[in-house]
Every structure is written in structure tokens, then in C-alpha cells.
Amino acid sequence: MSPNSAPQRPAGRVPGIAGSLRIFGVPVRFHFTFWLLVIWLVVMSAGGRQSYAGAALFVGGLFASILLHEAGHALAARRFGIATQEIVMLPIGGLARLERQPRAGEEFWVAFAGPLVNFLLGLVLLGLTYLQGGAVAMEHWRDADDGNIVSRLAVANLVLALFNLLPAFPMDGGRVLRSLLAEKRPTEDATRITARIGVAVAALLALTGLLQANFLLLFVALFIYIGAMQESMAATAQALMQGARVRDAMVTDFRTLSHGDTIRDAAEMLLATSQQDFPVMAGPRVTGLLSRSHLLRALAAEGPDGYVASAMDRDFVRLAPDMDLAEAAASLGGASCALVFEEDRLVGMLTSENLSEFLVLRKLRADRASAQEEASRGNA
């Protein structure tokens, strides 16, 4: 979830999407690996006293619970005026992509809404189980059948709620903890503390997994560790971009292509410069953006005599030079480059590479200033 300030095109989507639908007006996209996991779980769950239809019903109910979990995040975010760009269903769960990062008080409710949905679903399903004269027992998991699907889904929802409330990124519990800490301290500090707690949780899970030879726990530990590191790096980047504008980080010395240039011309320019993305001009007007990946695809499909006009991206990201850099970085989404315009005049380019270089330089300056301040304190 990253902040996004009205970009001129949607943020880059996760590749490998196979199927989509809309829930509460929010696009829900399914990664192809999600369907592979569904098929594998149905095959593994069927057998014994449980039919394939029963296994499919249980797996479908489980993933419907995860989808409702993500819908809970989306509805809570909508209450604070934060739109959800999309929900992507992956083998590890769902991912709700918000248009901006919720503030501390908002993040608490947005993060807590997902586990709350699973907790309420679990209670409702438990109630249905007992109304039907059934009960919840561990034997249901060892000897699954078509008659205990509801009770197993009830337990699964309660487990999902508790698991997601672990105080570690990327779990919802980590975001809940950060939001509480951010009420008393800067967001960057709150993120660092939560990330450290997440690393400790990951270490405990990894140790338990090793002692019990449980590879699932080892996978979860790795997942939590990676999430903690990513959130920590993202918070550091946000702090380094604090107060900076697009004009501070954009490239102003760049080459352009003409609307009538061929793929051969573009390839020669790619080899002659260190530039990876080229604005395409028709006179003084920008008509598109040709990236390295688009160029290579066109070279393979059309050959060197094709034209850049047929290969360029006409739906590129547009930024203003005075736009907040953190918002601009979020607007990049999955794109490698955005074009910066002052009114209708192209004045620069913001690429993921030069943004990383800008952050490195800012970090070095900050570390140097901190070292000099500590030295002056020592001399005093």
C-alpha cells in the first residue's frame, strides 16, 4: 500500500493475471498461480470420506474468506476516502492496493478490518455449526468429510484472524502495531520498531520450524522476515524523500526520439547512451514513451524497420515538477519512468534508477551531517 497522488494512469499491475471480477466496485484480479494452488488443494483435500465436490466447496469457502478479508480492508479504507485500486489474489493470500498510505489513525482501522471480518465470519459459521447440531473437533481435520465443512471453515477463519494479527509485517497485526506506535513517535521510528519485532517473530518461527522439521513454519518465517525488511526500507525511503520535490530528483539531460524514427534508430540511441527510456516527439509535442522493454519487443516482432510510433507507450505517467517526491514515486507504480511536464512542456524524466541514486545521495548527506553533529557535541 503506497501513497498515490492522482497519477495520470493506473499504477502498474502484477503480471500473470488470469481472470478478474468486481466486488463493491473494486477490481479483483486472480494471479495464475492462485488457480494452481486452488487445484492442488482440491486434489489434496479430496479422498477418504470427502468427495471432490466437498473438497472444492471447502477450498472455495476458504479463499472466499480471504477475499472478504481483503474487501474488509477496502471498505474501511473507503470510509477514510482512500480508494482501492485493485485486489490481487495470490497463493500467499490477498493484496489490497490502496491509492495512498493511510495515516496512523486510519491505518489502525484499515488494517484491523481484515482480521475482524474473519473473526465475525468464524463466529457466524460456529453458530451455524451448533444450530445444525454439530460440534468443532480436531478429528474433523484428520478425518475430513462433506458433513464438517462448515465447522472447518469456522476454525479456519478464526485461525486466519489470529494469524493476521501477529505483530509483524506484512501481517495486519504489524500495521496495527505501527499505527499505535506512530501516535507517539515518527512513522519511520514506529516502522523500525515494528520491523525489529517482526524479525524476532520470524526468528522464533524459524527456530520452531527447524526443531519440528516443519517446512511450512520455515516458509512463514521467511515471508515475515522479507516483509519486515521491505517495510523498513520503504519507511527509510519515505523519510529520505520528506520535503523533496520531483524537480530535485528528475533527469534534465536526456535524449528524445522523433515520431517517424525507426526501431533501428531507437536501438542505436539505446547503445550510444546510458538512457533506457526515450520520450517520443511529434514536433514540440510528446506523443509517447519508448522503454527498453518495448523497444526489444518491437525489434523481435517487427524488425529494425518498424516505427517507434507503433511500439511506444501512449499511456505514460505524467508528473509536475513541484509534485511531492514521495507521491510521485508511488505514482510510478510498476513503470520504470515518468515524464515531467511544466504545463505542456517536457522539462524532465523521473526514472526508478535516478530516484534510487537520489535516495543514496540523500542518505550519505544525512549520515555525514549526523556524524558532524555528534563530533561537535563531543568537542563541546
Looking at residue 7, its pLDDT comes to 33
- Residue range 181-210, pLDDT digits in tens: 988 888 778 888 888 888 898 899 899 988
| 4 and 143 co-located in one domain | yes
Owning domain of residue 225: 167-240
Question: Does residue 12 carry a pLDDT above 70?
Answer: no
Residue 324 located in a structural domain: yes
Per the omega criterion (within 30 degrees of 0), is the bond before 170 cis?
yes
| 318 and 190 co-located in one domain | no
| 216 and 262 co-located in one domain | no
| 9 and 146 co-located in one domain | yes
Rounded Cα distance between 121 and 141, Å, is 19
Higher pLDDT, 236 or 142: 236
Looking at residue 278, its pLDDT comes to 92
| 132 and 209 co-located in one domain | no
Question: Does residue 379 carry a pLDDT above 80?
Answer: no
Which pLDDT band holds residue 14 (cuts at 50, 70, 90)?
A: low
The answer to whether the beta carbons of residues 312 and 258 sit under 8 Å apart is no
Which pLDDT band holds residue 334 (cuts at 50, 70, 90)?
A: low
Measured CA distances, 17 to 28, 30, 234 (Å): 10, 6, 25
- Residue range 271-328, pLDDT digits in tens: 998 898 999 998 889 999 998 888 898 888 888 888 888 889 888 888 999 988 887 8
| 273 and 156 co-located in one domain | no
Residue 367 located in a structural domain: no
| 142 and 231 co-located in one domain | no
Higher pLDDT, 46 or 353: 353
| 33 and 160 co-located in one domain | yes
The answer to whether the beta carbons of residues 20 and 347 sit under 8 Å apart is no
Which pLDDT band holds residue 92 (cuts at 50, 70, 90)?
A: low
Residue 378 located in a structural domain: no
Which pLDDT band holds residue 118 (cuts at 50, 70, 90)?
A: very high
- Using the structure block, give the residue that is written with the C-alpha cell 475430513: 144
Give which of 16, 144, 155 is closest to 91, Cα–Cα: 16
Higher pLDDT, 7 or 114: 114
The answer to whether the beta carbons of residues 146 and 49 sit under 8 Å apart is yes
- The last residue of one of the domains, among 210, 240, 270, is 240
| 161 and 177 co-located in one domain | no
Domains held by the chain: number: 3
Specify the long-range contacts of residues 177-184, CB closer than 8 Å, at least 24 apart. 178/104, 178/107, 179/102, 179/104, 179/105, 179/106, 179/107, 179/108, 179/111, 180/108, 182/104, 182/107, 183/104, 183/105
Which pLDDT band holds residue 112 (cuts at 50, 70, 90)?
A: very high
- The last residue of one of the domains, among 165, 195, 211, is 165
The chain-wide mean pLDDT, for the chain, equals 81
Residue 133 located in a structural domain: yes
Which pLDDT band holds residue 142 (cuts at 50, 70, 90)?
A: low
| 134 and 274 co-located in one domain | no
Which pLDDT band holds residue 8 (cuts at 50, 70, 90)?
A: very low
Residue 363 located in a structural domain: no
C-alpha cell at 120: 465475525
| 14 and 156 co-located in one domain | yes
Which pLDDT band holds residue 1 (cuts at 50, 70, 90)?
A: very low
Residue 364 located in a structural domain: no
| 182 and 207 co-located in one domain | yes
- Residue range 51-85, pLDDT digits in tens: 777 778 888 888 888 888 988 888 898 888 888 87
* Strand ranges of the sheet holding 277-282, from the earlier edge strand across to the other edge: 257-258, 277-282, 285-291
Question: Does residue 4 carry a pLDDT above 60?
Answer: no
- The last residue of one of the domains, among 240, 272, 300, is 240
Question: Does residue 232 carry a pLDDT above 90?
Answer: no
Question: Does residue 266 carry a pLDDT above 80?
Answer: yes
Percentage of the chain beyond pLDDT 90 is 12
